[in-house]
Structure 1
């Protein structure tokens, strides 16, 4: 953790921000007393968290999400498929 005065922070702000982007924490002080902390902004990772999905499935006893498709999965429908009423 780095401590800098307000004047030094004002004079070196771009360099300090580069350090913060690299994970450094900077404390800005006035007369030796801390005034503000400059810390990296937390960015949420995008995409799918497969580990979280695996934990969720294990907690519920799910070993597979989808079963195997039936052998006739991609067979064409009969001609009268849309004409028959639903049961």
Structure 2
């Protein structure tokens, strides 16, 4: 990690920006004490859904949400609530 005084940094900002773009981290100091760090910007991204699926697949992890049947939200039959439930064992 490179340290540079703030006065020198303000005169070499373009050069420092190029070095940071190359992956270098630069600490800017005032009176020998760190004031800030110039670091490469983080790449913006999103959720890698395909990567997540591949990760779970190779580790044998299943997900409840991937097992929902396609007819899950179809209307129930009219007699659904009229059909008695089977008896519970022990009652």
Report how many residues are paired.
62
Aligned equivalent of 2:7:
7
Q: Secondary structure at the match of 1:55?
A: helix
Matches within 5 A, 1:4-83: 4-45=4-45, 48=48, 50-57=50-57, 58-60=60-62
Gaps of 5+ in 2: 68-91
Q: Secondary structure at the match of 1:59?
A: coil
Q: Secondary structure at the match of 1:51?
A: helix
Structure 1 stretches of 4+ moved >6 Å: none
Give me the whole-angstrom Cα distance separating, in 1, the residues matched to 2:21 and 2:35. 20
* Cα distance, 1:50 vs structure 2: 3.3
TM-score w.r.t. structure 2 length? 0.57
Give me the whole-angstrom Cα distance separating, in 2, the residues matched to 1:54 and 1:33. 46
TM-score w.r.t. structure 1 length? 0.59
